[in-house]
Structure 1
Amino acid sequence: MRINLNMLWAGLLPVMFLTGCGENKEEEKKDEESVSTLGAVSAMKEMAAQAEEMQKSGPVATVDFRSLKELLPADADGLARKEASGEKNGAAGFTISTANGKYANADDSETIELSIVDGGGSAMMMGLAAWSMMEVDKETENGYEKTSKIGDNKSYEKYDNSNKEGEVDLLVNKRFVVTAKGRGISMDKIKAALEDVDLDKLAGLK
């Protein structure tokens, strides 16, 4: 079967960004460039394999965004929910359902944004969760960036100590991407907010 190369490149761009994020080009060593190149090539092969598998299984209807919205917690690790929204968009044969929640303390000095996205297990997921096909592990004086696992789910996280800003992304059941972004709070609090989402229930949605 033919692979949509435009979709593959759309998914590869964030991967290439991840492999080069935070690096000074003038100081980049040749061996590091080789590692980045190999990582990008490996990701491209993985995307092609996944695209082939997705084409074999056929399209899957995305979950109604209202069902995703119901999974947004009333509070995120103690921060009250200020806003909740959802929408469903489609283009070029692909549909995405999204639910978003915004949480904050009284003076907005601590904020968290939670989002749940369903790409229907389509090739679109390669762009939404390109990091799930990479192995990233970086650390600087100001923070870190890495891919890992939370439970059985592949995850990507990054944190900036100087600004106290961070993000955790989680790929659930190979089709849902759950993201928690925090400002003015610790990474532990961001992860705790992510745990407030019922991931088991999310994985069972169809």
Structure 2
Amino acid sequence: MDLVQRAKNITLTPKTEWPVIAEENTATIDLFKNYVAPLAAIPAVAMFIGMCIVGFSVPLVGITVRLSILSGITNTIMTFASSLIGVYLTSLIINALAPQFGAEKNSAQSLKVAAYSFTPVFVAAILFIFPDLGMLSLLAGLYGIYLLYLGLPVLMKTPQDKAPVYAAVSVVCVVVIGIVFSRVLHNISGSPMSGISSMHSSTPEVNGALGELEKMGKKMEEANKKMEAAKKSGDPQAEMKAATDALGAALGAGSEAEVVDKDKLKALLPEAIGNLKRNSLEGEKSAMGEFKIAKAEAHYADENNHQIRITITDTAGSKMFGAMFAWGAIEQEKETDHGYEKMGKVNGRPTHERFQKDGPSGEYSLLIAGRFIVETRGDNVDMASIKTASAAVGYDKLEAMKNDGVKQ
């Protein structure tokens, strides 16, 4: 397999190249070594040149900033590692969802679909040599989705009418799960390989996520039927509603309950925290199909400009939404002269805290009962004050609500 010719063919003539790829018997290690890794090096090296040599401009300030060589090397390693992991995770997602869309589960074929669909993204990343143009490379991601759509029927034997939704669901899952693992990579220092080992597909966290993807696939299959019916009706509003419900089904997959009333969450936010008085209190409930959240937020301040903002969000136990906050699967700690960041568990609850000495400012977040997210941000206060404010909502009270609205 000639790398340059394959990249050219899959990008310019994908309809004729996918059948060729489908017939190839390529070992996983060979695919990564001879195709994915060389292309994944493009964004890594381009970012190094752009960030460390060319430099990037700071909006409104008018200055050019360049990273140190050491920071650039670290970023290069992490970018390369995340690219490899991204391809692998995408293949797992595609394979896990296959049965729900009438496709055949085949790990070798799903890996080829993922690897070659990433081609335009990797190639276009050359633009990161000029950081101000780097965002344009994101447009290549749209073409990558198109390649995915074309490849699924050929390699995964997906019925043609189900390929669009199969591709859309796969992309949604990649984005959501990618947030979790990018957070991991962002917090790793020193040994990037330790991050890779922690994301092996046999871990309970990854296996659990894949199980939720299969549930989501079933919901999306139902949503797909509704979309087809709406399309036949010729009613644009019905089509839009069906599409919105489909996305809601994807984000809300695995939801175990109806969200609690927003006023119930607002009642947990005290009128004062120490010397800080509450000067605003808001609540809202949002829904998109099956995806629903309820939220309450309060802002506290005093005359010395000490400020704290607390937000309580009920995700109704949505596995896909909650995955973004699954810090408990990872334990990381990073400290610099300017502050620190930690991820782990406190009293069995997944937590994340970050503190910046300059200001000072910080945030403390935790997941309670698998559904309630408490986020507390502070300015001109220390971390002890932020944690005290967070605890003021009453974690035990939220724990007591864990079964509220649970579907019987």
TM-score (norm 2): 0.44
- With CA pairs under 8 Å and 6+ residues apart, which has the higher RCO, 1 or 2? 1
CA contact (8 A) 2:340 2:355 kept: yes
Report the equivalent of 2:290: 93
Secondary structure at the residue paired with 2:260?
Answer: coil
Measure how far apart 1:152 and its partner are. Answer: 3.2
For 1:165 and 1:73, the matched residues in 2 are separated by: 21
Given candidates 363, 369, 389, the residue that maps to 1:173 is 369
Root-mean-square deviation (Å)? 2.8
Given candidates 26, 29, 33, the residue that maps to 2:192 is 33
CA contact (8 A) 2:254 2:317 kept: no
Distance 1:156 1:112, change over 3 A: same
**Does 2:182 correspond to 1:21?**
no
Given candidates 173, 184, 206, the residue that maps to 2:380 is 184
Comparing 170-179 and 53-62, the one that deviates more: 53-62
Alignment map for 1:48-197 (pairs within 5 Å): 48-50=207-209, 52=211, 55=215, 59-107=256-304, 109-123=305-319, 124-127=321-324, 129-197=325-393
For 1:193 and 1:39, the matched residues in 2 are separated by: 33
For 1:51 and 1:170, the matched residues in 2 are separated by: 23
Distance 1:141 1:20, change over 3 A: farther
Flag structure 2 segments of 5+ consecutive residues without an equivalent. Answer: 1-95, 101-168, 216-252
Higher helix fraction (1 or 2)? 2
Distance 1:160 1:58, change over 3 A: closer
For 2:176 and 2:202, the matched residues in 1 are separated by: 9
Counterpart of 2:174, as a letter, is W
CA contact (8 A) 2:327 2:344 kept: no
Report the equivalent of 2:165: none
Counterpart of 1:160, as a letter, is Q
For 1:188 and 1:43, the matched residues in 2 are separated by: 38
Flag structure 1 segments of 5+ consecutive residues without an equivalent. Answer: none
Aligned sequence identity (%): 27
CA contact (8 A) 1:15 1:43 kept: no
CA contact (8 A) 2:277 2:300 kept: yes
Measure how far apart 1:126 and its partner are. Answer: 1.1
For 2:206 and 2:400, the matched residues in 1 are separated by: 24
For 1:168 and 1:58, the matched residues in 2 are separated by: 25
Q: Deviations over 1:25-67 (max 9, x none)?
A: xxx76xx222233344469861540563695976311111111
For 1:168 and 1:43, the matched residues in 2 are separated by: 30
Measure how far apart 1:153 and its partner are. Answer: 1.8
Measure how far apart 1:142 and its partner are. Answer: 0.9
Larger radius of gyration: 2
